[in-house]
Amino acid sequence: MSETLYPPSMPRRLALCGECDWVVRLPERQPGQRAHCPRCHHHLTGTARRDAQAPMACAIAALIMLGLVFAFPFLGFSTHGVGHVMNFGDTAKALVGDDYGVLAVVLLATTVAFPGLYLVTLVYVCLGAGARQLPGAIPLARLLRPLEPWMMSDVFIVGVLVSLIKIVSLADIHIRASFIAFCIYSLLLLRTLTLIDWAALWDAIAPVPAPDAPVHAGASGQSQALVACRACETPFTINHRHRCPRCGKRHHVFRVDRIQLTWALLVTASLLYIPANIYPVLSTTTLGHSRPQTIAAGVLHLAESGDWPIAAVIFVASIMVPVSKIVALAWLCIAARGRPDASLARTRAYRLTEKIGRWSMIDVFVVAVLATLVQAGALMSIEPGPGAIAFAGVVILTMIAALTFDTRLLWPDAAPNDAS
């Protein structure tokens, strides 16, 4: 395979920070360097890379491992002479069979469908980053960044480990080849994300066009009618066009107040959090006796069994993180309406809130794995409960709320609420 080199980077280029709306003129990056916003320290670019071959090779290796995940058994379970072996695809089948198809869709989308689509698209885009201009590379590249928050293979691995620890004292667990392949696939996926130099990759498939009007660094984008493309991060003047001149992505204008939208999502998530904790997330049947278990009851059961580390993980991921995220985003919405002081501290609080939210999905994955693995008839079996659906809704809604919140409103010269 010939080396796919990025074109020489522009000596100086403009960037518009997506978090504080500050216009920055970037110097040429040397390999290994990344650019930060001087006002809020947000990453304006990733680490500079020389070529697109490394992320492409890593993505291909991840796809191969993903294929092997479905070729072998995933986990084995046996107790009192009764055993069960599960494949990865059995998780979705078991959830659909228990009338929890929504959980099956969430599981497959976040662990297989979204990452698989991301990797295949990335390979195609990287192939088009050289002299070969492949058709459709630009619209496909626009799909990549929005998929990143929803890829949760690493969260799923933690969920599997928590599931195994919860039942290891009740049965014999056997790690199979598919689980090892999934771990390797997850590591390769994470490595692929760190190897992508988005600025150079976009330069290779779509050069930066000349600005429509003079742009001044060291000022806000709102003061110059500038917005940044959500796909390729190119600043352009919204007064002149409603599509990015580089990648063609339409500039979306919110028809509702961004703060009101975030509030609506938070209120809905808060209401869902009540049934998520009242109703059981799973039911364990042992010798014909069924025992429903809520999130809090599961934490207490693990603590009473001496599994304090696992109890702490579930408590933090399923109780502390959702509540903290709702409270933090509500506080930020209030702060955006008040005086815009302490902007940097509040922006950092937002970053932390946005990053940790996805880890609340651990409990949903625990339910999915246990419901599939522990199937020994009346002797022992586990079924999902309605609380799991409500809790998955809480996680998804809080993630969307974090993505819709406009951090530019935390800064003195905030952009208007209807800007994207």
Average pLDDT by consecutive 10-residue portion of the chain (420 residues)? 50 78 85 85 82 89 96 83 79 85 93 96 86 80 92 93 80 87 96 90 84 79 84 79 81 72 95 94 75 86 78 87 94 77 85 90 89 68 87 95 89 52
Q: Which two tokens stand for residue 201?
A: 């990759």
Q: Can you give the pLDDT at residue 377?
A: 55
Phi, psi of 279 (to 5 degrees): -80, 150
Q: Can you give the pLDDT at residue 266?
A: 96
Q: Can you give the pLDDT at residue 130?
A: 66
CA end-to-end distance (rounded Å), the chain? 40
- Please give the Cα distance from 28 to 25 (Å, whole number): 10
- Please give the Cα distance from 373 to 383 (Å, whole number): 10
Q: Can you give the pLDDT at residue 92?
A: 87
Angle, in degrees to the nearest 10, between helices 101-108 and 90-97: 160
Closest residue by Cα to residue 72 from 182, 163, 154: 182
| Exposure of 102 in the CB half-sphere (CA atoms within 13 A) | 12
Q: Can you give the pLDDT at residue 417?
A: 41
Buried b (16+ CB within 10 A) or exposed e, 91-102: bbebbeeeebee
CB-neighbour burial class of residue 68 (10 A; exposed 0-12, middle 13-18, buried 19+): middle
Buried b (16+ CB within 10 A) or exposed e, 276-298: bbebbbbebbbeeeeeebbbeeb
- Unique residue bearing structure tokens 């490394």: 54
Phi, psi of 134 (to 5 degrees): -75, 140
The model's pTM: 0.88
User: Do residues 43 and 34 make contact, with C-beta atoms less than 8 angstroms apart?
Assistant: yes
CB-neighbour burial class of residue 105 (10 A; exposed 0-12, middle 13-18, buried 19+): middle
What string of DSSP letters covers 128-163? TTSS---TTHHHHHTTHHHHGGG--HHHHHHHHHHH
Radius of gyration of the chain (CA): 24
- Unique residue bearing structure tokens 């580390």: 309
Phi, psi of 45 (to 5 degrees): -140, 160
